Amino acid sequence: MSQIDSYPTEPEFTIKAVQHRTGIKPVTLRAWERRYELLEPMRLPNGYRLYSERDIQLLLWVQRRVDSGISISQVVQQFNQFREKDTWPESIQTFSPAKPRKQPPRPARHYAEMMFGALVAHNEERAAVIFEECQIYFDLVTIFQEVVQPCLELLDESWYVGDIPIATRHMAFQVLKGRLGGIMQGLPTIKEGALILVGCGPEEMDEMDAMMLSVLLRQNNYHVEYLGPDLPTEDLIDYSKIARPKLICLAVHSEPTAFLLNGFSKQLTSVRGKPKFAYFGRYVSQNESAREKLGGIYLGDSLKTNLERIRRLLTMGVV
């Protein structure tokens, strides 16, 4: 990564273009300029503002910290400390603005069925081609929710009725896990801001949804660690004392896992920083009474909802 001051200072971006690049609304941007003197954009005779690429990189750095739960005043203080030392923060690694995606030749659900066919035929090469084609036409949320998750459901259903052996199901899951792991490894590793721990509750071995949520969080520039399946509450408490996470998100797909997590939210109140406990998964989505017993924070029944509720938790403290 490069320091922010290495970026061009030529004023060329309107406030609307800055909003498109950073997601910061003009009213918020003007307030930051007025209250904190964070930026000094060029003012045209008609009153319009023009911003530089350096301004945009600084705003991306600021926004990532605000999204992680740090107040804007604290972020400005951090920036001023950099400047007092005659240095600048490192720019965050972001993707280039997304190019318009091509019109898909078929619905996403059809790709789920194609993926299922390739996997039950043990054709890993074909499965890889299908996944890569999906990435041309769809974003990751769509791929996960409308291709990968339906494909997993088809695999489970086929195994349950005896159409495929357990070995085929396991092989297919491993192929998809490898693909998810590859995507995560290719994303920038964020080591700043509020830490989010993601994994599966005790005795929960179905880790696909937890992996997909971790990938999406990392893609959205969150500081996230994926801890894997079957996490005993005692180990989570011990690690939380060391890592000091802001949020612990666990997959709960079965009644035994939900039972073993009863009281976990209360246990976390004794940990320094009082990390919040949040959960998601088939069992809790279908059982309101289980959610009432668990306490903590229910993240919803879709990956898209999970992401939005995590964002609200970290920025506003509510879902």
Question: Residue 44: what pLDDT?
Answer: 86
Q: Please, what is the end-to-end C-alpha distance for the chain in angstroms?
A: 33
Over 50: is that where the pLDDT of 196 sits? yes
Q: Which pLDDT value is given to residue 302? A: 97
Domains of the chain: 4-84 (1.10.1660.10), 108-185 (1.10.1240.10), 190-316 (3.40.50.280)
- Spatial separation of the C-alpha atoms in residues 221 and 240, rounded to whole Å: 21
Backbone phi, psi, residue 53, to 5° = -65, -35
- pLDDT, tens digit, for every residue of 22-61? 888 899 999 999 999 889 899 888 888 899 989 998 998 9
Reported as a single tens digit per residue, the pLDDT across 102-141 is 789 999 999 999 999 999 999 999 999 999 999 999 999 9
Residues 6+ apart with CB under 8 A from 310: 196, 217, 222, 247, 249, 278, 299
- H-helix or E-strand containing 227? strand 223-228
Please report the pLDDT score of residue 95 as a whole number: 42
